Amino acid sequence: MGRVIVLGSINVDLETRIDAYPQPGEKVVAHSLHRYAGGKGANQAVAARAQGVEVLMVGAVGDDDAGRASLNRLHPMGIKLYVERIPHVPTGHALIFSDGRTNAIAVLPGANAKIGPRPLDQVKGLSPGDVLLTQLETPAERVAQAARHAHERGARVIVNAAPYVELPDDVCAMADPLILRADDEDAFAARRVEPISLLVLRGAAGLDWDGRRFSGEVVPAEDVVDTVGASDALIGTLAAQLAKGADRPTAARLALQKAADNVRHAGAQRSPRL
């Protein structure tokens, strides 16, 4: 069984509940404010670890209370931390407005934008069977460097292209899978780059993996508590299952199940409060 090495963001999520999103110049009344553990990288690392695989988290936090709280949460889970502490820069934060069904998010990258130029140098023994999982809440240049490093050593590279930016063609081509939101599918198709495999997230409709549709559980509206982090739960689970050697149908089915489970609790991670 391989390891999952996650290069990604570590954030604190500040989430407020509203009935309707404000228009420009409008003020609305919020119902609550919660402080949760978040960041696509940390969310996916937690989801992967829940599948019983060895997980290494590569990233950066500020030398502040938020950073210490984030690391103190991840370490007891058995996630191995290769995390820089960046002085004079805050830990990343996400400001989340949620009506329970959808969300709008503003991200302050903070320390996530300061990850060093050779992010995987401390990860020894990277080899075939391992899975590198990365997203784009860290600089695209660092993602590209890590992907090339892992690919040269025979590891599987999974790129969650969110938030969407254009990565170099060679990095897209080595992704297995490259994961896109449905909204970004046309923009990527125009580039005429073929990854090893392409997975498109389609929300409640499930996902397409190289054109094959995998459908997940349709969660009744009354059971939906929070949609934040559902795709991260899916992707972290998928990476772990692939590291275990699961085939595509098995990995996709379990990943969709975990995404459905995730919308039934508040915050991107289970018991997520910091």
Instruction: Report the pLDDT value the prediction gives residue 63, as an integer from 0 to 100.
Output: 96
| The pLDDT value given to residue 226 | 67
Residue 140 located in a structural domain? yes
Q: Is residue 269 part of a domain?
A: no
In a domain, 56, yes or no: yes
Q: What is residue 19's predicted lDDT score, i.e. its pLDDT?
A: 92
Return the bridge partners of 108, or none. Answer: 93
Q: Is residue 126 part of a domain?
A: yes
* 135 CB-contact burial (10 Å; exposed 0-12 / middle 13-18 / buried 19+): buried
CA atoms within 13 A on the CB side of 112: 30
Structure tokens at 148: 């090339």
For residue 225, give the amino acid letter.
V
The strand pairing partners of 218, in sequence order, are none
Q: Supply the pLDDT for residue 234.
A: 96
| Confidence (pLDDT) at 268 | 67
273 located within any domain: no
Q: How far is CA 245 from CA 178, 230, 251, in A?
A: 18, 23, 9
Residue-level pLDDT at 232: 95
CATH, residue 38: 3.40.1190.20
The pair of structure tokens assigned to 199 is 């997975």
Question: Residue 55: its pLDDT value, please?
Answer: 98
Residue 176 located in a structural domain? yes
Number of domains in the chain: 1
Question: Tens digit of pLDDT per residue, the chain (274 long)?
Answer: 899 999 999 999 998 999 999 999 999 999 999 899 999 999 999 999 999 999 999 999 999 999 999 999 999 999 999 999 999 999 999 998 988 778 888 999 999 999 998 899 989 889 999 999 999 999 999 999 999 999 999 999 999 999 999 999 999 999 999 999 999 999 999 988 999 999 999 988 999 999 999 997 778 777 787 677 799 999 999 999 999 999 999 999 999 999 888 878 776 676 656 6
Q: Print the domain residue range for 167.
A: 4-262
Looking at residue 271, what is its pLDDT? 60
Question: What distance in Å separates the CA atoms of residue 7 and residue 138, rounded to the nearest whole number?
Answer: 8
Catalytic residues: 232
Q: What backbone phi and psi angles, to 5 degrees, belong to 197? A: -150, 155
Q: Is 272 a domain residue?
A: no
Residue 270: what pLDDT? 64
169-188: buried (b, 16+ CB within 10 Å) or exposed (e) per residue?
A: eebbbbbbbbbbbeebbeeb
Residues 79, 73: Cα–Cα separation, whole Å: 10
- 142: tokens are 């660092």
How many Cα neighbours within 13 Å face the side chain of 73? Answer: 23
Nearest to 59 by CA among 242, 245, 46, 50: 46
- What's the rounded Cα separation, in Å, for the pair 76 and 50? 12
List the structure tokens of 245: 């050697």
The answer to whether residue 270 sits within a structural domain is no
Q: What does the DSSP 8-state code read for residue 236?
A: H
> What are the backbone angles phi and psi of residue 18, rounded to the nearest 5°?
-135, 160
> 10 Å Cβ neighbour count for 210?
12
Instruction: Tell me the C-alpha distance between 132 and 151, whole Å.
Output: 9
